Amino acid sequence: MSRTAPVIPGPDAPLADRDGVIWLDGALVPWREARLHVLSHGLHYGGSVFEGERAYDGRVFKLHEHSARLVASAREMGYALPWSAAELDAATREVVAAAGLTDGYVRPVAWRGGDTLRLVAPDSRVHVAVAAWPWPRIFTDGPRGIRLHTARWRRPAPDTAPVRAKTAAQYALGSLAGQEAEAAGRDDALLLDHRGRLAEATGANLFLVLDGALHTPPPECVLDGITRRTVIALARDLDLTVVERHLAPAELERATEVFLTGTAYEVQPVTAVDAREYPLGEVGTALAEAYTRTVRGGTGDTSDTTGTGDTTGTGDTTGTGDTGDSGVGGPVGEVPAAVPDGPR
């Protein structure tokens, strides 16, 4: 198979009609031939799981953490992937190399196939695909803030939905909230949780600066984003106080800065939430610069980037099956419209 670099499509080119290859069930196949049957179980019942990853200078940042979370998300949704996290790491590197990517976006996805449409289908074959394509910075002319709209949709309680999985079932809410925000003339949506507390954006984690300290909701009904965890570690390296606690919407009134974190957004300043406005502040700027240095530093693509010793490919770095990443971060509501995932 030819490994010549594909022509880079324009930002409006349909994702389904591009040159290149996609890794599908263990082999590279021509891009346009990477298909699934219309009666696939995952298409009908929301059981697919996925990741959103970024390549910087040809290396996927936190690759193993993303692969491990894909494995854990599938397990949370009741099925096992046919490939280990380590094997998914290798597949991802193969796809990135085949695409000739320097800076790019990577989308692994897994789903139950078309063996049956029975709702309970434990024996259905599981499929896995990995695609990658060129990905510039969201804002090439420097950072700018985005404006959020508080959605009527809320994140569910952890005992009512598979909140630890990065799954299509969870992203339906983000899609609806994002459509609502765009219809209101905003860039993204802010979702509350089931108790009316601040939760996250459609696919990115939320941070507030209050009295000089960084405050963020605990990952109880939202994904514990990989970018979120990275930024928290960077904040502590900068001697910033980090507080994980429940936040009431009223606390937006006294916040001096607001920003989001996610794979696509990286560290994204927020300049308005509904009628409240915020500046591009020093804390968010310092963290954005530190994050850029980190992802460009070549330390993100290792067999174990978590410090937990998970090099087995089981995907469980916590003992609970939760490998994190608020990646409910997503495809809808982000700027520009081509942004596929705020996949934390």
Active site positions, annotated:
166
Q: Determine the distance from the C-alpha atom of residue 325 to the mean position of all C-alpha atoms in its chain, rounded to a whole number.
A: 7
Q: Considering only CA atoms, which of 337, 335, 333, 48 is closest in space to residue 173?
A: 333
Cβ atoms of 300 and 308 within 8 Å: the answer is: no
Cα(256)–Cα(242) distance, integer angstroms: 15
Listed residue (330, 208, 328, 191) closest to 269, CA to CA: 208
Tell me how far CA of residue 318 lies from CA of 72, 222, 234, 299, 313, in angstroms.
10, 17, 21, 22, 13
Please state, in angstroms and rounded to a whole number, the distance separating the CA atoms of residues 261 and 334.
12
CA–CA distance, 99 with 88 (Å, rounded to integer): 16
**Residues comprising the chain, all counted:** 344
Tokens of 230: 């990275």
Residue 334 near residue 343 (C-beta atoms within 8 A): no
* Strands 146-155 and 266-273, sheet pairing: parallel
281: which 2 tokens? 């502040």
A 10 A CB-CB count for 302 gives 15
- 215 - beta bridge partners? 208, 243
- Which sign does the torsion angle of CA 268, 243, 275, 198 carry? positive
